[in-house]
Amino acid sequence: MLRRGFQMAVIHGHHGTLPGATHLLPRFNPASAFGSSTESLVSRFCQEMTKTKNYALPNASWGPDMLSLYHEFLEKTKTDGWVRVPSFRSNRDHIQGFKLPLELSANSDKSDWRLFTRCIEREGQGYEYVIFFQPSEKKSVCLFQPGPCLEGVPGFAHGGSLAALIDETFSKTAYLSGEGLLTLNFNIRFKNLIPLGSLAVLNVNVEKIEDQKMYLSCVTQSRDQQTVYAKASGTFLQMQLEEESSQQ
C-alpha cells in the first residue's frame, strides 16, 4: 500500500485514497486553464516584485569569483536569452494567483515560512546563490558560494547542503522548462569537497521529458572546470498549476 504515492497519482490522475495521506498526493490536471509554454512560465514565475526581497542579487559577502561570473551571466541575459531567476523568501511568492494541487489549509496560517535554501538571513553565513535559466536550451547555471553555516567536514560544505541546492536548482529548472514541480528521486555522486567560501558552479540540463516526468542532470565544478565536486541526476513530476478562482 505504501508504495503508492507521487507516481500513482500521475498514472491515475486524481487524488489517492490512502488513509492519512490524502493531503500529500499531487493531482495532475491535463485540462489546465492557462498556457504552459516556457515563455509564459518564465514571464509569470520570474517577474520581479517591488515589495518582495530578491535574494538572488549580489551582496557584500560575494567573493570576486562569484561576482565576476554573475556579471558575465548578467550580460548573457541581455544578449543570449538567459534569464536571471529571482529568489524570494518562499515559493508562495512565485506562484501568487495559482493554487497548488495539495490541500494546505492546515498549514497556511503561519508567516515565518522560509524556503529552505534561503533559511539563513545573514548575508554570507549560509547559502549565497543565484540561478540563471536558458529557456530555449532548457538548462540552468547556479552560482553557489557556501558560507560557514553549511559545514560538514570541518572547513568544507556539507554534502547535504549541496544536494539540497542541486534539488532546488533542479526544481526551478524543471518548473520553468515544463511544470516539473515535485522531486520523485534524486541521486548524487560526490567527487571532491567544496571549501567553504569558495565558488562552485552547478550546470543543470533537462535531459528528457517523458510520461509526465522530467529527467535532469547536474555537474557541479570549480569555475575553471578543473575540479568536479559532484554529479547528480533527478526526476521530477509534471503538474500544471490552476488559477485561483478568486484572483485579486
DSSP 157: B
147-179: buried (b, 16+ CB within 10 Å) or exposed (e) per residue? beebebeeebbbbebbbbbbbbbbbbbbbbbbb
Per CB under 8 A, which of residues 53..112 are in contact with a second copy? 90-92, 95, 100, 102, 104, 106-108, 110, 112
Give one DSSP letter per residue of 123-145, joined into a string. Answer: TTTSEEEEEEEETTTTEEEEEEE
Q: For a second copy, what does the binding mask look like between residues 110 and 149, x meaning CB under 8 A? A: x-xxxxxx-xx----xx---------------------xx
- Examine the residue annotation and report whether 224 is marked as an active-site residue of this protein: no
Nearer to a second copy, 18 or 74 (CB): 18
CA distance 199 to 10: 38
One of 29, 53, 186, 215 touching a second copy (CB under 8 A): 186
One of 51, 78, 189, 208 touching a second copy (CB under 8 A): 189
Residue 247, Cβ density class (10 Å: 0-12 exposed, 13-18 middle, ≥19 buried): exposed
Min. distance of Cβ 64 from a second copy in angstroms?
Answer: 16
State whether residue 153 is helix, strand or coil: coil
Min. distance of Cβ 113 from a second copy in angstroms?
Answer: 5
Residue 236, strand partner residues: 183, 214
Cα 134 from chain centre: 14
One of 188, 203, 217, 223 touching a second copy (CB under 8 A): 188
Nearer to a second copy, 39 or 121 (CB): 121
One of 58, 81, 97, 195 touching a second copy (CB under 8 A): 195
Stretch that binds a second copy, among 54-62, 132-140, 166-174, 204-212 (CB under 8 A): 166-174
Nearer to a second copy, 53 or 158 (CB): 158
CA distance 220 to 169: 12
One of 50, 79, 226, 247 touching a second copy (CB under 8 A): 226
CA distance 228 to 29: 40
Q: Does 215 bind a second copy (CB under 8 A)?
A: no
Stretch that binds a second copy, among 32-40, 58-66, 131-139, 190-198 (CB under 8 A): 190-198
In sequence order, the 6+-apart residues with CB closer than 8 A to the CB of 238 are 10, 28, 178, 179, 180, 181, 209, 212, 213, 214
Min. distance of Cβ 197 from a second copy in angstroms?
Answer: 7
Nearer to a second copy, 51 or 110 (CB): 110
| Catalytic option among 65, 109, 167, 224 | 167
Per CB under 8 A, which of residues 8..47 are in contact with a second copy? 18-21, 23-25
* Region of residue 184 (left: phi > 0; alpha: psi -120 to 50; beta: else): alpha
State the residue for C-alpha cell 517591488.
Answer: 50
- Which residues carry out catalysis? 167
